Amino acid sequence: VRGSVLTLRDHTELRALSSELDSVRGLTEALRAQAHEAANRLHTVLTLVELGRSDEAVRLATEELALAQRLTDEVVGAIAEPALAALLLGKSAQAAERGVELTVDPDSRLHVGALPTTDLLTVVGNLVDNALEAVAVAAPPRRVRVRVTETDGEVLVEVGDSGPGLPPEQVADAFRRGWSTKRPGRGLGLALVGQVIARHGGRYEVDAAAEGGSVFRIRLPIGART
């Protein structure tokens, strides 16, 4: 007797694990950039000391410490979720490496547990990465602005940039896996964001940003679980 066997596999868990892995990878890369920036500054201070220019070394170290502390206070004061705060601090360093000014809106407010941490990292991390790539082809000053807050029972993630912008007719395609305005093989980041939106019954908007490029707004119900 000859026949056929049809095997069906539920890839939901696999996709969730893949999304979680991408979130962790993004956080690791952001923290690597932050460590790289810190190492560069430390080497500069040490070299000034070796050259006998201690006063300049102290001044530079004091300025850098004050700048880092101010940024940390701003982010941690607004974002209670520690992993997301760490991601944003790391992305700030990553942006600085590329000559981009990344700012976190002072109106940002988010408490712990509003959404699953991995989903927050997926959405914010990939939107910021997308914005950093968009401004890479723009003329200076290159800016990316991030706002994460809670409003009307939802978490609102808003990322704007000073890049060339996304034409309205391409908005729907932007969240499709494999679609990209860049080289072939890209287009995964926003697709992962789209998966999170679909799982939580959220929604998205893409408009022209005040900075001149695009602003992505993602709205997800508070307390949503995968």
Instruction: Specify the number of domains making up the chain.
Output: 1
Question: What mean pLDDT, rounded, does the chain reach?
Answer: 79
pLDDT of res. 160: 94
Do the domain assignments include residue 1?
no
CATH number for the domain harbouring residue 26: 3.30.565.10
Do the domain assignments include residue 6?
no
- The residue among 89 and 186 whose pLDDT is bigger is 89
Average pLDDT over residues 132-138: 90
29-35: which pairs have CB atoms within 8 A and are 24 or more residues apart?
Answer: 29/90, 29/94, 30/86, 30/87, 30/89, 30/90, 30/91, 30/93, 30/94, 30/125, 31/86, 31/90, 32/90, 33/90, 33/91, 33/93, 33/94, 33/97, 34/89, 34/90, 34/92, 34/93, 34/94
Do the domain assignments include residue 103?
yes
Confidence of residue 223 (pLDDT cuts 50, 70, 90): confident
Q: What is the pLDDT of residues 18-54, one digit of tens each?
A: 555 555 565 556 556 556 566 667 777 778 788 888 8
Do the domain assignments include residue 72?
yes
Q: What is the pLDDT of residues 90-110, one digit of tens each?
A: 888 888 888 899 988 888 888
Nearest to 144 by CA among 108, 94, 86, 104: 104
pLDDT of res. 125: 92
Confidence of residue 172 (pLDDT cuts 50, 70, 90): confident
Do the domain assignments include residue 20?
yes
Do the domain assignments include residue 2?
no
For 126, the domain range is 12-221
Do the domain assignments include residue 80?
yes
Do the domain assignments include residue 215?
yes
